[in-house]
């Protein structure tokens, strides 16, 4: 009895150790990823705001591209952040809930969502984490480029009001570098030197491209028709395009700043979805299991089919029999020509 009790105690303690080790292996990498993301966000938020200054660039007196009036943003920074967070959150939740409901047709909707709430939570955290990390990469690259290039915004002259005289601009093709800004606050003047490239365009396009690729990988091609999915994807891209184009009409960026922002955001959105998140690989592996589960469920229309009915997908997945069936007419010919067959 003593030996059995001690053995049972040892097994229990070893199981606890293995359980703790497994939990640490899951929590440890996730915790380190969170810490890294926080550090990246703090570095590229605090340093550019308080410690770093953009490259001081001069201008030509005849440069009309920097003489537009100052306007308030159509899409403010706070509104942009709300869009950037709500777009992937709503897209991922709606997509995963739709998949769970459509793949579990024989069960009630509420019980299905409750039973698979853990899977839904894990998928949401996984995909949203990849999208958020792509946002951090875009933000870091945008901040670094803005400070390094120091391109003047279209409203620079209106905000800066440089202390240049008519003598200094007697030759419109002289590059003015020795000047001081007399108008606007220090923050506005600093922001007026951060035109390239557009952060609004890059961040919004990054999220839109990620969501479009994610939906392409996780949703079926037909959702109550063939046009629903393309319309949803085009709507997400349209929101990103409108945000970027508003920066041109608000005189916050040159058109080239917005175009480069779109390209950078698209590249990082593709990277975070396909290469980092592996949405197509995850979907392929998952759909192999889910398709078997869905095929095993009885659908209402299946009761009207004959017992010998085989769907095209199931027929393509089944192994063809080794022996081939001989046609009826050919079998009669074989029997007739058989020398051992006695015809009546």
Residue 72 designated active-site: no
H or E stretch covering 46: helix 2-46
Per this entry, what is the length of the chain? 344
The CA–CA distances, whole Å, from 79 to 92, 178, 239, 342 equal: 20, 37, 13, 92
Closest Cα partner for 213 from 273, 126, 283? 273
Q: Tokens at residue 267, please? A: 């590249």
Q: Where are the beta strands (DSSP E) in the chain?
A: 59-60, 175-176
**How far, in Å, CA of 208 to CA of 214, rounded?**
10
Residue 340 designated active-site: no
Q: Which residue has the tokens 């039973």?
A: 115
Q: Is 129 exposed, middle or buried (0-12, 13-18, 19+ CB in 10 A)?
A: middle
Q: Tokens at residue 224, please? A: 């109550």
Q: Tokens at residue 333, please? A: 């010919």
**How far, in Å, CA of 140 to CA of 137, rounded?**
5
Residues in contact with 95: Cβ distance below 8 Å, sequence separation at least 6, in sequence order:
214, 215, 218, 219
Catalytic residue among 253, 254, 340, 341: 253
Closest Cα partner for 276 from 128, 93, 145, 99? 128
> What are the two backbone dihedrals, phi and then psi, of residue 308, each rounded to the nearest 5 degrees?
-85, 5
Catalytic residue among 130, 155, 200, 254: 200
Report angle CA 227, 228, 234 to the nearest 5 degrees: 85
Active-site residue list? 200, 253
């Amino acid at each position: 009895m003593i030996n059995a009790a001690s053995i049972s105690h040892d097994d229990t303690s070893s199981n606890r150790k293995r359980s703790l080790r497994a939990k640490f292996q899951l929590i440890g990498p996730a915790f380190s990823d969170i810490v890294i993301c926080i550090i990246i966000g703090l570095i590229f938020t605090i340093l550019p705001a308080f410690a770093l200054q953009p490259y001081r660039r001069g201008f030509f007196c005849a440069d009309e591209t920097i003489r537009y009036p100052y306007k308030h943003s159509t899409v403010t920074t706070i509104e942009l952040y709300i869009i950037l967070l709500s777009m992937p959150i709503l897209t991922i939740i709606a997509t995963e809930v739709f998949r769970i409901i459509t793949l579990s047709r024989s069960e009630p909707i509420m019980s299905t969502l409750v039973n698979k709430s853990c899977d839904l939570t894990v998928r949401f955290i996984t995909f949203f984490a990849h999208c958020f990390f792509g946002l951090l990469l875009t933000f870091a690259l945008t901040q670094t480029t803005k400070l390094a290039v120091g391109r003047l915004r279209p409203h620079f002259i209106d905000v800066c009001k440089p202390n240049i005289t008519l003598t200094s601009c007697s030759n419109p093709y002289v590059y003015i570098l020795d000047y001081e800004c007399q108008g606007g606050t220090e923050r506005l003047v600093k922001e007026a030197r951060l035109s390239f490239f557009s952060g609004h365009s890059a961040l919004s396009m990054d999220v839109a491209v990620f969501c479009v690729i994610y939906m392409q990988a996780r949703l079926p091609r037909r959702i109550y028709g063939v046009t629903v999915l393309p319309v949803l994807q085009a709507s997400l891209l349209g929101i990103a395009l409108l945000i970027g184009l508003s920066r041109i009409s608000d005189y916050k960026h040159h058109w080239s700043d917005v175009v480069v922002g779109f390209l950078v955001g698209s590249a990082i959105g593709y990277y975070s979805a396909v290469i980092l998140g592996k949405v197509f690989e995850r979907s392929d592996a998952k759909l192999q299991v889910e398709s078997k589960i869905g095929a095993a469920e009885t659908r209402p229309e299946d009761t009207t089919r004959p017992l010998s009915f085989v769907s095209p997908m199931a027929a393509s997945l089944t192994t063809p029999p080794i022996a081939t069936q001989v046609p009826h007419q050919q079998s009669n010919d074989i029997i007739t020509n058989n020398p051992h067959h006695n015809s009546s």
